[in-house]
């Protein structure tokens, strides 16, 4: 028998070449049965609790606290004490050390965090492992670097911390949004009270362990869990100096109304309905990957998702054909499987919202395409979806769906592309695909969006400011701009309040 024959006998040619299951082990995460609130460096037994689940199979994961007004007040008091009794006085270089430590611990424990993030939120492990965790650590590293250089970031302005920051984050990137909020706040010398979203509290609770490991002084970071009522208490608290919110436009507006005239600083990072614009000279295969990444990344639970695809009319047919073909190769299923591209929808409520808007799209006259795929029976699932034949007035072209649903429209000229792209109450992000640099610049000048990606999509970097126009909110996170909302200055403020 030849060597080749022996090999073939040992490992015959497979009958098909589909992926075998490749589940990530869960045992790296040890969950407690019950979590309290993390206040003043201690776990406080909660008065009320609720059950947090895995959206992939509805399995209960743990009991977590539903913070009462008294518990929120205790967290704010702990943050105030920590601010006044040490943290605001500590040398900036010392502050930096704590942030570097947190970043290092996040890196060391990244697999544990990635598994937990996928378990509690439903996102594919390859995304939590390769995007959420590295970017969360990168945020702490980045702001650690600024902590002792604020005088250089804002020369001659005497930057000083504000005090206590109340931070409310959503469920789509639980740990990453925590990093976006906590890292600049601490680097600027503030203390924080943070509330994770009701459906995804576990990575924020595990982060408390990181805070302890980094030996951060007690009370500098306080985490309270609960639903919107807990958020309301944080916003209302008289002893909070600044509120930072990421979430829906509706709640953002309510918070703005509540804070009007209070003198508290506010930043809002709200929804989006981004246009991803493909010109006829774009590298089409690359653009199709960009479209897929733009809308199916994180099940489309992304405020800057490229949910409106604008395709130049002359290439409409090949783009749609390539896109549909690519859709059939997306693997939908177990978030903990390393081969999964599209995981579970984050909650029943979000699934119902997606279903409602998709029905509206079909009723209004758009044509729906979903690739053949078998969805798991338990849990919350929605197949990747494309709508063609979409008019600008349809709800699916106007409203944020926040799910794996793409609406395709066409345009003929760059002017028309700009007009259609800007025809939205939002203004968070946009994508432009073309081989001409001059066209990219011409478009970027005219698109009313906080971020414009060129020949790529959904790229994030801690040094790059992120934020919106119009109903997408105000204020910037990331970069030097992201420090400014957490500081007060002598004289007028450099980038607006």
Binding site for ligand NDP (CB under 6 A): 168-172, 195, 197-198, 227-228, 231-232, 235, 246-248, 251, 254-255, 270-271, 303, 350, 353, 400, 402
CB of 284 to ligand NDP, least distance (A): 30
Of 249 and 312, CB closest to ligand NDP: 249
Q: Which two tokens stand for residue 63?
A: 């009991």
Of 109 and 123, CB closest to ligand NDP: 123
User: Annotated active-site positions, please?
Assistant: 269, 303
CB of 77 to ligand NDP, least distance (A): 20
Query: Could you tell me where the DSSP H helices lie in 83-173?
Result: 92-108, 110-121, 125-127, 133-147, 150-153
Of 203 and 434, CB closest to ligand NDP: 203
Of 57 and 227, CB closest to ligand NDP: 227
CB of 279 to ligand NDP, least distance (A): 28
Q: CA–CA separation, 248 vs 219, rounded Å?
A: 29
8 Å CB contact between 346 and 408 = no
Q: CA–CA separation, 311 vs 233, rounded Å?
A: 45
Of 36 and 196, CB closest to ligand NDP: 196
CB of 255 to ligand NDP, least distance (A): 6
Nearest residue (beta carbon) to ligand NDP: 231
Reduced DSSP (H G I as helix, E B as strand, rest coil) percent helix, strand, coil of the chain, to 5? 40, 15, 40
- What's the DSSP call for residue 467? -
Q: CA–CA separation, 474 vs 255, rounded Å?
A: 13
Q: CA–CA separation, 239 vs 264, rounded Å?
A: 10
Q: CA–CA separation, 495 vs 263, rounded Å?
A: 17
Cα–Cα separations (whole angstroms), residue 393 to 136, 320, 354: 38, 21, 18
Cα–Cα separations (whole angstroms), residue 198 to 71, 113, 174, 227: 16, 18, 10, 5
CB of 177 to ligand NDP, least distance (A): 8
């Amino acid at each position: 028998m030849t060597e080749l024959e022996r090999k073939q006998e040992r490992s015959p040619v497979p009958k098909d070449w589909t992926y075998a299951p490749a589940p990530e082990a869960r045992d790296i995460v040890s969950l407690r049965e019950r979590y309290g609130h993390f206040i003043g460096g201690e776990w406080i037994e909660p008065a009320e609790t609720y059950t947090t689940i895995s959206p992939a199979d509805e399995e209960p994961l743990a009991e977590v606290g539903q913070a009462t007004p008294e518990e929120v007040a205790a967290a704010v008091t702990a943050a105030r004490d920590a601010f006044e009794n040490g943290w605001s006085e500590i040398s900036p270089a010392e502050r930096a050390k704590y942030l570097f430590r947190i970043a290092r611990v996040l890196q060391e424990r990244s697999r544990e965090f990635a598994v937990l993030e996928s378990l509690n939120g439903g996102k594919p492990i390859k995304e939590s492992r390769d995007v959420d965790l590295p970017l969360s650590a990168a945020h702490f590293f980045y702001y650690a670097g600024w902590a002792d250089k604020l005088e250089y970031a804002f020369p001659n302005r005497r930057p000083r911390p504000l005090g206590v920051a109340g931070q409310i984050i959503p469920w789509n990137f639980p740990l990453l949004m925590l990093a976006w909020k906590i890292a600049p706040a601490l680097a600027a010398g503030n203390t924080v009270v943070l509330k994770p979203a009701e459906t995804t509290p576990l990575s924020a609770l595990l982060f408390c362990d990181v805070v302890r490991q980094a030996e951060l002084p007690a009370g500098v970071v306080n985490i309270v869990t609960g639903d919107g009522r807990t958020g309301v208490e944080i916003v209302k608290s008289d002893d909070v100096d600044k509120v930072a919110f990421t979430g829906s436009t509706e709640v953002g507006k309510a918070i703005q109304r509540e804070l009007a005239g209070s003198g508290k600083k506010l930043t809002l990072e709200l929804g989006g309905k981004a246009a991803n614009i493909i010109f006829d000279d774009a590298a089409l295969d690359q653009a199709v990957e960009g479209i897929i990444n733009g809308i199916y990344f994180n099940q489309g639970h992304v405020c800057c998702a490229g949910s409106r695809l604008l395709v130049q009319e002359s290439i409409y047919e090949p783009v749609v054909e390539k896109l549909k073909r690519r859709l059939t190769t997306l693997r939908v299923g177990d978030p903990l499987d390393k081969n999964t591209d599209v995981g579970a929808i984050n909650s029943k409520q979000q699934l119902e919202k997606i279903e409602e808007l998709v029905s509206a799209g079909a009723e209004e006259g758009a044509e729906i395409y979903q690739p053949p795929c078998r969805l798991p029976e338990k849990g919350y699932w929605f197949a990747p979806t494309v709508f063609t034949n979409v008019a600008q007035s349809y709800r699916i072209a106007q409203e944020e769906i926040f799910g794996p649903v793409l609406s395709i429209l066409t345009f003929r000229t760059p002017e028309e592309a700009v007009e259609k792209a800007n025809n939205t109450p939002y203004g968070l992000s946009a994508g432009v695909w073309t081989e001409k640099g001059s066209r990219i610049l011409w478009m970027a000048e005219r698109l009313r969006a906080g971020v414009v990606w060129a020949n790529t999509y959904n790229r994030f970097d801690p040094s790059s400011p992120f934020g919106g126009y119009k109903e997408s909110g105000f204020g910037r996170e990331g970069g030097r701009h992201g420090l400014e909302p957490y500081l007060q200055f002598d004289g007028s403020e450099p980038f607006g309040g």
